[in-house]
Structure 1
Amino acid sequence: MARSVEERRRRIVDIVAQEGPQNARRLATRLGVSAVTLRRDLEHLASVGSIRRRHGTVEPLGAPSIAGPDAPTIGLVLPESNYYYDGIIAGAKRAAGAAGAKLVLGVSDYRPEKEIHQAERLITKGVDGLVMAPTPDFATGWLVPSQEERLAQLRVPTVFVERTASPGGPCALLDTVNSAHDVGAAVGLRHLIQLGHRRITALMISGPNSPWVREGLLQASAHAGLEDPQIIMEGTPGSDEARAAVLQTIEDGTTAVFVHNDQLATRAILWLEDAGISIPDEVSLIGYDDVIAGMADVPLTALDPPKREVGRRAVERVLALCGGATSSAVSPADGGATQHIRLVPELHVRQSTTVPREPPRSSDCRR
């Protein structure tokens, strides 16, 4: 059997074990194989007892326990339920299922008043604990003081995901499970630097984690003794407003573009290709989030924050705090000391990054 087939089948087993049941069609798309190829893989894995197949899905052999009437209930308050947060929800569901707990979702649409309302509503309905991603100031990445005061007064154990409370505020005493976005961005920039890129532009959305991504980029460039990367903001979300500025910086000598996030990176691919700029031969492109990066027209090298691990650990932590822990590693009585957990994103190198091109002759420059 070819090594690539063995590796793919091991990955299938790992995905199912870590994330729970998978839709077979979506799994084939995720792995980049045909439905026929995946069916053969699943038939083999089921025959050797590695997975269980059922009605278009593939499941782990150790199915999660079903929540009973006395099971703890955890409220999950997130700004949205798709794209980035799909992974966090998947990890949270896996942890809740393994512990026999119930999970109830509330969506805040990035509105601080709505997320407080959702949290209080869930508490009134009797949840035992909360996992939340409150909406910070997009310019700073911090929760605002008045928001912290209200969040700190919630009446059940609460764990934040992908959010950082100010060290001097009351929410600093709440547990947090975050992706280390500054470290992830720095890993991505170092990848470009190690390839030989010295003129790097950052194309950025305005989002809750953008300040930390920017900080990682600046620290990595300073550590390498380079000038700070030129930062271009997306402008109106979903727009092409940044297109002209990106093309101009490439004309001025940029050889690599770091893009936060995947959705913006897929638009940047179109901007460059429409301008006749080859990726990665003329310009390398690296994305952040790794939700859809591998499905781009040019599969994107990208940083993958450990979204499922964040969701899993947050639910496990809040269960420990509210007395629903199944592990003796944490005392359910008090949960131990407050924990601020930071998990480092992983770099996935694909087809969009390579060594920089030779500097163009003046006659080659695009106008």
Structure 2
Amino acid sequence: MREPGDVRRRRILAVVLSRGAVRVSDLAAELEVSVVTVRRDVEQLARAGRLQRRHGFARSIVPVEQPQASSGAEGGAVGLIVPERHQYLFEVVHGARTTLEAAGLRIVLHIAPPVGGAERPIVERALAEDVRGLLISPRWRSVAAEEADYAWLVDVPVPVVIVERRPRLGSVLHATDSVCSDHWYGVHLAIDHLVSLGHRRIILAARDDSPTARAIRAAFAEITAARPGIEDATVVLSSPSATAEPDTVDTLPPLASLVRDRRATAAILHGDTDALMLTQHLSEGGIRVPRDFSVIAYDDTVAGLGTTPLTAIAPPKAEVGRVAAELLLQRLDGQHGQPRRVQLLPELKIRESTQKL
């Protein structure tokens, strides 16, 4: 599905704000669009006063402040490591950047490519550049990939906060600082909303290639099993590419057929792009949203931009970044204390895709 222009421009602005200056050609490669498209977007943002366009670069209009140091946390650089093409985390990056730069720290953003083990060499390079601390959101497409990173992450010699990831209970990273959305609560909000509208047969069409996806699937199974009023709860992949090993998935059954087979009346769809596409497939199959079927998207990055704006669960992405940055600042300021595992609550945004049976 082609990304809407206003969403693409928000992504461009987020990248420019996080890095200070970016080549137009690099933006085009990262967003997987033409240079001409990005140049046009950059010109539009420049005319609106959101950024500056200079000789093939897009530059932030927000200066990096360097206030006089008032505590041990100020001065130097912090490494921020996020997966490539992970739209969900752009708001997290912005929240962290704003907080750290206000404290006089420079952000060094590293984008991890979509290959296993990509984060470790990036961390090693960041440490060689004398970063004072790290905020890291590993891709962790599978449980095995996650656990393979535990041993070296726990030995990183600077303060580390794991962002929007929840290390396994009892693992060596259990006592590492982390800040994450409470995805159990997000799924609870979605199910509670659907049940309040009279829905008892619910589908979860979800990814299975990230810690967030696995948390959503586990929460759905637990919550629906504990609600006696729910007659059927079915879990399917949201797309053939939504698994850690996409080559093992052949063809998924059309969602409209599954809805009819299960006699479902509602679905929770993760994430937003898959949700918009699946809603379109429902319409093509003769199932109208919300008249025939209610839909809740999980992520709320572009859920409100569909032909039918989707009701969505919105994790507190910017707040996760801000709180993670504040926690890292405390560690850099010598406030050691006990490690903290912080969870922040998502919210339900009701739009036009859900209605009472």
Question: What TM-score comes out, normalization by structure 1 length?
Answer: 0.73
Match among 276, 291, 314 for residue 324 of structure 2? 314
Residue equivalent to 1:186: 188
Which residues of 2 match residues 39-58 of structure 1 at below 5 A? Answer: 56-57=48-49
Residue equivalent to 2:273: 263
Residue equivalent to 2:256: 247
Residue equivalent to 1:132: 136
Residue equivalent to 1:360: none
Displacement after TM superposition at 1:65 (Å): 6.4
Which residues of 2 match residues 5-84 of structure 1 at below 5 A? Answer: 56-57=48-49, 66-67=65-66, 71-80=75-84, 82-84=86-88
Match among 116, 123, 126 for residue 119 of structure 1? 123
Work out the CA distance in 2 between the residues paired with 1:354 and 1:241.
Answer: 33
Work out the CA distance in 2 between the residues paired with 1:182 and 1:83.
Answer: 21
Which letter does structure 2 place at the counterpart of 1:143?
E
Paired residues of 2:136 and 2:162 also in contact (CA < 8 A): yes
Displacement after TM superposition at 1:106 (Å): 0.8
Displacement after TM superposition at 1:81 (Å): 5.3
CA RMSD of aligned residues (A): 2.7
Percent pairwise identity? 29
Which letter does structure 2 place at the counterpart of 1:184?
G
Residue equivalent to 1:231: 235
Displacement after TM superposition at 1:241 (Å): 7.0
Work out the CA distance in 1 between the residues paired with 2:346 and 2:231.
Answer: 24
Question: Counterpart of 1:113 in 2: which secondary structure?
Answer: coil
Match among 118, 143, 146 for residue 146 of structure 2? 143
Displacement after TM superposition at 1:82 (Å): 4.5
Matched, 1:169 2:179: no
Match among 195, 200, 203 for residue 201 of structure 1? 203
Work out the CA distance in 1 between the residues paired with 2:252 and 2:356.
Answer: 23
Residue equivalent to 1:101: 105
Q: Deviations over 1:76-100 (max 9, x none)?
A: 0111254101111111111122212
Matched, 1:215 2:207: no
Gaps of 5+ in 1: 1-18, 21-53, 324-332, 357-367
Which letter does structure 1 place at the counterpart of 2:338?
A
Residue equivalent to 2:299: 289
Out of 236-245 and 126-135, give the one that drifted further: 236-245
Displacement after TM superposition at 1:141 (Å): 9.0
Residue equivalent to 1:346: 347
Question: What TM-score comes out, normalization by structure 2 length?
Answer: 0.75
Which letter does structure 1 place at the counterpart of 2:255?
V
Work out the CA distance in 1 between the residues paired with 2:153 and 2:223.
Answer: 33
Which letter does structure 2 place at the counterpart of 1:195?
L
For this pair of structures, how many residues does the alignment match? Answer: 291
Gaps of 5+ in 2: 1-16, 19-45, 52-61, 69-73
